Each structure stands twice: as structure tokens, then as C-alpha cells.
A and B are shown apart, each in its own frame.
Chain A
Amino acid sequence: MTVAEDRALLPDAAALAACAVASAVSRDRQSFAVLYRHFAPRVKSYALRLGAPIAEAEEIAQETLLAVWRKAGLFDAAKAGASTWIFTIARNLFIDRRRNARRSGEVADAALSAEPVDPATPDTALQADERERRVRDAIARLSPEQQAVIRLSYFSETPQTQIADTLGIPLGTVKSRVRLAAEKLRQYLEDCR
């Protein structure tokens, strides 16, 4: 199945959120299967871009969806969309694996296993679907080059190097491009309020 075909069949954000809730409330495996089919291949893609070898990327996708099943009770559809929630789970899982790999051989330190990544739980009443709509609009307003900068900032093993390669600019000027893209994004997000 091509990506384009899949897009046409995409369950929308509300349907995916409903699946996450059903997974939690009634341990409904049908709903969980929908989440799996939608997200596992994307999470694997994500891990591949972060530099995971194929087998590990697959494992990260499985682990992420396993965590989705286990933590479904913590999903709050008002605070985050299903894709945002699953992105943060995958991201934290990946970070944990990298840190643990780097740490093996060092003295185990219980304090180090505390997870410093924020749950990104906002206290304002901005609804998840509203936030995702704003975000989509803001990204769409960026120039193609700025969009590439943002994507690479999220989805690459060494963002700085890859941004330099992709845009054909010296490494030294990458930082200012990233800063500019992030600030534009913020400006458009504020405009969309």
C-alpha cells in the first residue's frame, strides 16, 4: 500500500483518540489494532530516522505500542491528541534506550534513571484538536526550507549535520537557521490563536 492510499484511509484524529480511550476503558483489542496499524509503521520510520538499525527500530515500534496498551488509562483526549501522545511515548522510549546503552559499563546510578523529559502537560484549556489544527496551519505557512529544518530537528540522528547537508550550508550557519525557523513557527502559532 502506498502512502497516498493510506492517507485516504486515515482514521481522523478523533477516531484515533476514541480508539485510545476504548483500549483503556474496555481493553478493546479491536481498537488497539487500529492504533497499531496506524502508528507502529510510523514509529518505526521515526526510529530509523533517529539512526536506529532496522531490528531496533522495529523493537522500538513494538515497545511503543506495548506502552500504549499498558498506559492507555493515562491517555487524556482533552490534553493531547493520540499522535502527540504516541510521539512523546516513542521519543522517551528512544531516549531511554540511548541513555541506557551509553551508560552500560558505567556505574549504575539510580538517580540517573529519573526521566527528565516533560510530559508536556499544559494547564491551559486549549483543546488537543484545536492545538493540532493550529500546529498544522503554522507548519504549512513555513517556507519549504524552514519546514525541512523543523522536520530534521525532530527526525534525525544528528540534526545539525543533516540540516547542513540538506540545505547545502556550512555547519556554522545551521544554528541561526534553526533559530529562525523555530521563531517563525512560534510567530505563526501565535497568529493562529
Chain B
Amino acid sequence: MTAHPSEATLMAHAAGQLGRAHATVVSAHAETCPHCRERLADFAAIGGVLLEELPLASMAGGFDRLIERIDREENAVVEAVFTGARPRGGPADDIRLPAALDRLPVGRCRWMGPGMKYARVGIADENGVQLVFLSIAPGRAMPEHGHSGREFTLVLQGSFGDARGRFVAGDFAEEDEDTEHTPVVAAGVDCICLASIEGRMRPRSLVARLVQPFIGL
């Protein structure tokens, strides 16, 4: 026997008018029932069509208020999410570090270009992969670059965005030979990242090519 919820029940579900318990049973059924998923999609589309027909209520604050909110959120200082020790020296000296870095020495903070600093983390990697802190000033674009090996980046503070979206504290970005990107740091606060870089970065821009031999990345 194939028994399904009634049309009225599916409609109430799509309309958001079922309570949590009933809704859970209907959802659980739909997980294994393509027939009902299809019907629920119809009823959701009915919600969309009816929404179009509703009269327009006036919005007091409106669009500008929402954009201000979006700007505020996107530029907000993202609290570092880690609970490890505070590092000594390095560009990341006022945030907490991941516990995974406890007791690893951090080298001196060095200039690597306008608005950019880096510091090496003293770790003996068996494959010669370098571990560094990168600190990029707000609004700065990192030099467009490709990779000759894998590069993992963990955001510790602030955020950057590229074609894939926005990366905030705790986010992990993975690059390899096939990826080329131009990360841009959001306004507001320095973006500090921990990056493990295999091989050499392949900078595209002139500035980056000038900087590269200097920092040896």
C-alpha cells in the first residue's frame, strides 16, 4: 500500500500552517516519497504565486537601512574563535591562536608589500611546506596568484572574499594547482590568516612578482 498525506495536509504543510509535530511526520514521509515532494513543490509554488498577488505594505526604513545592516555585518570585526595561547610577536599578537599552534615559535613580523605583513611559524615540515601568518590590511587585494601546490588558509581574524564568497574567522579555504584567485580583504580590520603553502605561489601581477623574491614565498 502506498499511502500519502491528503492534499489539504500537504497544502497546510507548504503553507507553514502545520505545527511542529505534524510537520515533522509529513517531512519524514516526504524524504522517501518523490510523489509528495513533487506535490509539496507545487504547493510552495502556489505560495510564491499568491505572494505576488498580495498588496504592497509600505516599508518605513526600507532598503537603505538594510544595506547599512549588511555593510555593518560584512565589515564587523569578527571575533577570533580560538581559545589557544596568545602568540608572542608576529602579526597576530592581539588575538588568540588555535591550540594547535601552542608552543610553536613565531618568527619576526616582516613587510611583504603595501598593507601586507607575514611571519613564519617555526615548524619542520617533512615536505618543505611553509607555515606562515599573513596579515592584510582592510580593503587590500592580495596579489592575484596561482599555486604550484596545495595551499590551505584558515582565517583567524577579519575576513576576505573572492569569487566563492566571504571567508570569516574559522573558515578554511583550499587551493591547488588549478585555482587562481584574487582575495580581497573586507573593510574594518586586518585580515589575519594562518596559511600552509606548498611549492611557490605564482603571482600574476607585477607587484607580486617584485615582492616574491624578497619574501621567498
Interface residues of A (CB under 8 A from B): 1, 3, 6, 29, 33, 36-37, 39-46, 48-49, 57-58, 61-62, 65-66, 69, 73, 80-88, 90-92, 94-95, 99, 112, 116-118, 120-124, 126, 128, 131-132, 134-136, 139, 150-151, 153-155, 159, 175, 178-179, 182-183, 185-186, 189
Contact = CB atoms under 8 A, between A and B. Distances in A.
B79 interface: no
A86 B70 contact: no
Interface of B: 6-8, 10-17, 20, 23-24, 26-27, 30, 34, 37-52, 54-63, 65-67, 69-70, 165
A91 B48 contact: no
Contacts of B57: 41-42, 44-45, 48, 57-58, 61
The 5 closest A-B pairs by CB, nearest first: A84-B48, A83-B48, A41-B56, A122-B41, A44-B57
A173 to B, nearest CB: 14
B46 A185 contact: yes
Q: Is the contact region of chain A dominated by helix, strand, or loop, or is it mixed? A: helix
A116 B45 contact: no
Given A87-B48, A189-B42, A45 B54 contact: yes
A120 B37 CA distance: 6
Given A86-B51, A91-B16, A186 B46 contact: no
A46 B15 CA distance: 11
A154 B54 CA distance: 12
A42 B20 contact: no
A3 B41 CA distance: 28
Contact of B49 (A40, A45, A121, A136): A136
Contact of B24 (A58, A116, A123): A116
